[in-house]
A and B are shown apart, each in its own frame.
Chain A
Amino acid sequence: MAGNALSSEKSGTKSVSSLIYDPQARGIFYQILTVAIIGLLVWIFTNNTIHNLQKANIASGFDFLKGRAGFDIGQSLIAYTSDATYGRALLVGFLNTLQVAILGIITASIIGFAIGIARLSSNWLIAKIAQVYVEIFRNIPPLLVIFFWYKGVISILPQARSSIALPFGSYLNNRGFFFPKFIWGDNAWLLLAALAVAISASVFIVRWARARQMATGQQFRSGWTSFALIIALPLLTFFVLGSPLTFEFPVAGKFNLTGGSVLGPEFISLYLALSFYTAAFIAEIVRGGIRAVSKGQTEAANALGLRPSVTTRLIIVPQALRIIIPPLTSQYLNLTKNSSLAVAVGFSDLVGVGNTVLNQSGQAIEIVAIWLTVYLSLSLTTALVMNWFNAKMALVER
């Protein structure tokens, strides 16, 4: 190896001792050494694994994904029975992970922003409550937060036979949250179409309002208009069509409520735990971001006669976002990765389903590879989206 380093040097006439003291030659030598050691380790591990797999008669490869799963999964977003394949079982787990991660990110952001702003409130009580919240959730391991919610959900909520009745025909008990299921009628697609029309119209209105304000200085309440449009148009369509949606309500069965849709306590506890836990970190990021906006900005806005709400919305938040977004990304990644703690409460996420598949098929290395690839892709995708958002929010120099 030393020979490689030496021969790569141009100055062949130099003596060996001077090469040892040449920082560049030494640098090259150590780099080659590092690469060689890493290569050797990889080779040893791969070789050893292959050897041991052959010795233990374990088939490798991903053909097992086509095998019959043979086990059932409690909560699934797509049709699944025990006759489905291992591959489909893993897909069910992946979608469950995705579901809890996306909903968790949305909820954590909302709670986090609210708490973060509350910490800066001039109201002493609100600021202190927000501070206590942050300190409690930030300093407890996420696994314990999940246990806390899970034990709380299944031991405080009533048994199935004495469910709490909620509005709109929903129920809550320690088997989960039961709510009516939509059954799509013939013309139900028109509802989605109405929603799409309303959203595009809103986008158009917002753009038009902004352009008009730039040109004439006149303001237009585009936020409220869009909100009303998005709510009213689908609602109007619903009544014009004579309610194309029907609902299947949960009813009391022998063991539990049957019919309708259900969110199990595993999902609820995981979702709440991840949201509340991550929200504590997001709150601190938001507070830090707002604090970092120089006080002169607020004072300048005040001097121009802007109201405090407008100051916050148009002056402070856009500048704070630039600081908030990069650390926010890493919190989103953490939430997605922490969702693998689902295994502790029996939620069928990718890791939970993967564990079962791994035990039943014995394909440990393949399953672990799938886990790694999926979480890596999820994280990279999140990072990519957030980087794009960050670039969009960044200061545009004119």
Chain B
Amino acid sequence: MKKTLLSAAVGAAILGAASAASAGTLQDVKAKGFVTCGVSQGIPGFSNPDDKGEWSGIDVDYCRGIAAAVFGDAKKAKFVALSSKDRFPALQSGEVDVLTRNTTWTISRDTSLGFNFRTVNYYDGQGFIVKKSLNVKSALELSGAAVCVQQGTTTELNLADYFKANNLQYNPVVFEKEADATSAYDAGRCDVYTTDQSGLYAIRLKMKAPDENVVLPEVISKEPLGPAVRQGDDQWFDVVSWVHYAMVNAEELGITSKNVDEMKAKGGPDIKRMLGSEEGTKIGTDLGLTNDWAYNIVKLVGNYGEVFERTVGPNTPLKIQRGLNALWNKGGLQYAPPIR
């Protein structure tokens, strides 16, 4: 999932890119009439096109939330499918306004690549998937296993560290492309495939017999996935960040896409303040948007919980529990600063 700084660095070096971010991405977006988001080439639950070319997924809904906040219309979002190699140059060069593409927030991406990260719309971590028939219950039982892994990723390094730290033997089988690695696992070349856990759930869906594979409980790395924007454009950075915070706050306050109109009229002061129905509020305009920006997000896209349930939650084919992505007051890590 996360090729190290190579791609961007090489891209920048060869193309001589590293173009300066234009002064106001928000103004540019408003002027062209839609927001352009970089997404994956197809990861179920995160950003995946259906047979009609309609995108869906948690990252896609983040982008629609931005469109709802800026234009009051969630459909004013365009998606550019990017490989893990192309994603950073695409953001650096201004081809996309924001990268909502399950990208791990790391210090080198935050600094040397010239991006800004702030919100995490999915807390992920590297995990293992194995065949059920092996009767393996924990990654610590994997000594001697053959492990398929994608080349040049942080995954490859985490894997080596984990097995070394636990004094386990393994035989790595390294592929350049994820599709090759997963099909080799599916064909029985490896006992184990490893990548981000969310990716494991998504890949399991594509296997010959999804139910015969099980994701092990161990998470061996931190992979906070969130949107990235170019450095040097604080206003746009704020807009992108607060879209996520509005969704999380809405869930915390119990505002859903179904009851948002009722809440706007009859809710408590904190709800009215967030939805822009408070007298003389300036929160939305200070952000460079209209005062009903948060209302539009919740009305047109939903709160964070709704998006999660719809895209990756237990009732979707991916069947992912909230876990780390539950709200902070429910034992998870999703925490948003107050809107006031």
Residue ranges of A at the interface with B (Cβ–Cβ < 8 Å): 48-49, 51-53, 55-58, 70-74, 81-82, 151, 154-155, 159-160, 174-175, 253-256, 258, 264-266, 343-346, 348, 352, 355-356, 358-360, 362, 364-365
Q: Is the CB of A346 within 8 A of B6?
A: no
Q: Is the CB of B174 within 8 A of A346?
A: yes
The docked-state distance in angstroms from the alpha carbon of A72 to that of B156 is: 8
Q: Is B18's CB within 8 Å of the partner chain A? A: yes
Residues 10-41 of chain B: 1 if any A CB is under 8 Å from the residue's CB, otherwise 0? 10111010100000000000000000000000
Q: Is the CB of B152 within 8 A of A255?
A: no
Q: Is the CB of B161 within 8 A of A255?
A: no
Q: Quick one: given A56-B18, A266-B173, A344-B180, are A364 and B13 in contact (CB under 8 Å)?
A: yes
Chain B residues near A365: list those with CB within 8 A. Answer: 13
The docked-state distance in angstroms from the alpha carbon of A155 to that of B160 is: 27
Q: Is B9's CB within 8 Å of the partner chain A? A: yes
Q: Is the CB of B144 within 8 A of A255?
A: yes
Most chain-B CB neighbours within 10 Å: which of A48, A53, A70?
A70
Q: Is the CB of B3 within 8 A of A58?
A: no
* Given A52-B13, A360-B156, 14 further pairs, Cβ under 8 A: A52-B16, A56-B13, A58-B9, A71-B172, A73-B172, A82-B160, A255-B142, A255-B191, A346-B176, A346-B181, A355-B151, A356-B156, A359-B3, A362-B9
Chain A residues near B175: list those with CB within 8 A. Answer: 345-346
Q: Is the CB of A358 within 8 A of B144?
A: no
**Total residue contacts A-B, CB cutoff 8 A:** 121
Q: Is B188's CB within 8 Å of the partner chain A? A: yes
Q: Is the CB of A48 within 8 A of B16?
A: yes
Q: Is the interface of B mostly helix, strand, loop or mixed?
A: mixed
The docked-state distance in angstroms from the alpha carbon of A174 to that of B181 is: 15
Q: Is the CB of A356 within 8 A of B152?
A: yes
Chain B residues near A358: list those with CB within 8 A. Answer: 6, 152
Q: Is the CB of A159 within 8 A of B184?
A: no
Q: Is B5's CB within 8 Å of the partner chain A? A: yes
Q: Is the CB of A356 within 8 A of B144?
A: no
Q: Is the CB of B13 within 8 A of A254?
A: no
Q: Is the CB of A71 within 8 A of B18?
A: no
- 8 A-B pairs with CB atoms under 8 Å apart are A49-B13, A56-B18, A70-B161, A72-B170, A154-B187, A255-B134, A344-B180, A359-B153
In whole Å, how far is A127's beta carbon from the nearest beta carbon of chain B?
A: 37
Q: Is the CB of B160 within 8 A of A53?
A: no
Identity of the chain B residue whose Cβ is nearest the Cβ of A257 in the assembled complex: B144
The docked-state distance in angstroms from the alpha carbon of A385 to that of B5 is: 42
Q: Is the CB of B144 within 8 A of A254?
A: yes
Q: Quick one: given A56-B112, A255-B146, A352-B174, are A265 and B189 in contact (CB under 8 Å)?
A: yes
The docked-state distance in angstroms from the alpha carbon of A165 to that of B27 is: 70
Q: Is B4's CB within 8 Å of the partner chain A? A: yes
Most chain-B CB neighbours within 10 Å: which of A53, A175, A359?
A359
In whole Å, how far is A312's beta carbon from the nearest beta carbon of chain B?
A: 44
Chain A residues near B164: list those with CB within 8 A. Answer: 81-82
Chain B residues near A48: list those with CB within 8 A. Answer: 16
Residues 186-201 of chain B: 1 if any A CB is under 8 Å from the residue's CB, otherwise 0? 0111010000000000
Pick the contact of B174: A70, A151, A356 (CB < 8 A): A356
Q: Is B259's CB within 8 Å of the partner chain A? A: no
Q: Is B138's CB within 8 Å of the partner chain A? A: no
Q: Is the CB of A71 within 8 A of B6?
A: no
Residue ranges of B at the interface with A (Cβ–Cβ < 8 Å): 3-7, 9-10, 12-14, 16, 18, 112, 134, 142-146, 148, 151-153, 156-157, 159-161, 163-164, 170-176, 180-181, 184, 187-189, 191
Q: Is the CB of B189 within 8 A of A74?
A: no
Q: Quick one: given A154-B184, A359-B4, are A346 and B152 in contact (CB under 8 Å)?
A: no
Most chain-B CB neighbours within 10 Å: which of A55, A56, A70, A155?
A56
Q: Is the CB of B180 within 8 A of A346?
A: yes
Q: Quick one: given A52-B13, A346-B174, are A71 and B181 in contact (CB under 8 Å)?
A: no
Pick the contact of B144: A81, A253, A344, A345 (CB < 8 A): A253
In whole Å, how far is B224's beta carbon from the nearest beta carbon of chain A?
A: 20
Chain A residues near B146: list those with CB within 8 A. Answer: 175, 255-256
The docked-state distance in angstroms from the alpha carbon of A265 to that of B146 is: 12
Identity of the chain B residue whose Cβ is nearest the Cβ of A346 in the assembled complex: B175
Q: Is the CB of A71 within 8 A of B12?
A: no
Q: Is the CB of B171 within 8 A of A74?
A: yes
In whole Å, how far is A152's beta carbon from the nearest beta carbon of chain B?
A: 11
The docked-state distance in angstroms from the alpha carbon of A348 to that of B134 is: 27
Chain A residues near B7: list those with CB within 8 A. Answer: 359
Pick the contact of A255: B6, B9, B145 (CB < 8 A): B145
Q: Quick one: given A56-B112, A255-B144, are A74 and B174 in contact (CB under 8 Å)?
A: yes
- A-B pairs, top 7 by smallest CB distance, nearest first, are A359-B152, A82-B160, A346-B175, A359-B6, A52-B13, A364-B10, A72-B172
Pick the contact of A52: B12, B142, B153, B189 (CB < 8 A): B12
Pick the contact of B151: A72, A81, A255, A359 (CB < 8 A): A359
Identity of the chain A residue whose Cβ is nearest the Cβ of B85 in the assembled complex: A359
Pick the contact of A348: B112, B161, B174, B188 (CB < 8 A): B174
The docked-state distance in angstroms from the alpha carbon of A266 to that of B180 is: 12
In whole Å, how far is B172's beta carbon from the nearest beta carbon of chain A?
A: 5
Chain A residues near B187: list those with CB within 8 A. Answer: 151, 154-155, 174
In whole Å, how far is A160's beta carbon from the nearest beta carbon of chain B?
A: 8
The docked-state distance in angstroms from the alpha carbon of A82 to that of B167 is: 13
Most chain-A CB neighbours within 10 Å: which of B142, B151, B184?
B151
Q: Is the CB of B145 within 8 A of A356?
A: no
The docked-state distance in angstroms from the alpha carbon of A73 to that of B159 is: 12
Q: Is the CB of B160 within 8 A of A71?
A: yes
Q: Quick one: given A56-B12, A175-B189, A362-B9, are A346 and B173 in contact (CB under 8 Å)?
A: yes
Q: Is the CB of A364 within 8 A of B189?
A: no
Q: Quick one: given A74-B171, A82-B164, are A343 and B6 in contact (CB under 8 Å)?
A: no
In whole Å, how far is A361's beta carbon from the nearest beta carbon of chain B?
A: 8
The docked-state distance in angstroms from the alpha carbon of A349 to that of B171 is: 16
In whole Å, how far is A89's beta carbon from the nearest beta carbon of chain B?
A: 11
Chain A residues near B6: list those with CB within 8 A. Answer: 358-360, 362, 364
The docked-state distance in angstroms from the alpha carbon of A51 to that of B18 is: 12
Chain B residues near A345: list those with CB within 8 A. Answer: 175, 180
Chain B residues near A70: list those with CB within 8 A. Answer: 157, 160-161
The docked-state distance in angstroms from the alpha carbon of A253 to that of B157 is: 26
Q: Quick one: given A82-B160, A352-B151, are A360 and B4 in contact (CB under 8 Å)?
A: yes
In whole Å, how far is B317's beta carbon from the nearest beta carbon of chain A?
A: 26
In whole Å, how far is A158's beta carbon from the nearest beta carbon of chain B?
A: 9
